[in-house]
């Protein structure tokens, strides 16, 4: 399972670099032809990870329900995020990655509520959820790389 966490660590490092190398204005800008911005895509990765890994395992999430509601699938930015929110999202990128790995090693993911993704892939257990989460974060990292060319 170490490779799953190494992949996620690499993805999260890329997203951290984007946060560190773009201004608040750039992070909030929604370029023409896009429905979201850099910061939404990055926060969406955190929110989705929490749903895929913790919620579907029947466990409490590491982020608030408000955070998940703001960045869940089907949402879009309702306004600009503040610098304080960027700092929170930056911290969550690292802390949630580390905690998922610790929790996995501690075997807390005992149950899993089977879930079929919008792509038609059925997640049956924590292993599938971790794999799919990396795929999902990879997609959004690609979107981030596209958006940053226009901000």
> What pLDDT score was predicted for residue 2?
85
- Average pLDDT, whole number, for the chain? 97
| pTM score of the predicted model | 0.96
Hey, what are 10's tokens? 């690499």
84-105 residue pLDDT tens: 999 999 999 999 999 999 999 9
DSSP class of residue 119 equals T
- Using the Cα atoms of residue 63, residue 141, residue 5 and residue 108 in order, give the sign of their dihedral: positive
Query: Which three-class secondary structure state does DSSP give residue 115?
Result: strand
CA 63, CA 79: separation in Å to the nearest integer?
Answer: 20
67-76 residue pLDDT tens: 999 999 999 9
Q: How many CB atoms lie within 10 A of CB 68?
A: 20
CA 132, CA 72: separation in Å to the nearest integer?
Answer: 16
pLDDT higher than threshold 70 for residue 110: yes
pLDDT higher than threshold 80 for residue 146: yes
pLDDT higher than threshold 80 for residue 1: no
pLDDT band at 8 (very low <50, low <70, confident <90, very high): very high
DSSP class of residue 55 equals G
14-44 residue pLDDT tens: 999 999 999 999 999 999 999 999 999 999 9
């Amino acid at each position: 399972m170490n490779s799953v966490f190494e992949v996620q660590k690499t993805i999260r490092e890329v997203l951290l670099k984007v946060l560190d190398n773009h201004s608040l204005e750039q992070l909030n800008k929604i370029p023409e032809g896009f429905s979201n911005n850099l910061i939404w895509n990055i926060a969406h990765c955190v929110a989705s990870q929490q749903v895929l890994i913790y919620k579907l395992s029947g466990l409490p999430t590491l982020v608030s329900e408000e955070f998940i509601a703001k960045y869940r699938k089907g949402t879009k930015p309702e306004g600009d995020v503040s610098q304080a929110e960027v700092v929170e999202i930056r911290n969550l990128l690292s802390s949630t990655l580390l905690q998922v790995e610790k929790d996995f090693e501690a075997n807390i993911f005992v149950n899993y509520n089977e879930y079929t993704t919008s792509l038609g892939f059925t997640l049956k257990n924590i292993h599938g959820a971790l794999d799919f989460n990396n795929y999902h974060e990879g997609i959004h990292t690609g979107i981030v790389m596209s958006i940053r060319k226009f901000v």
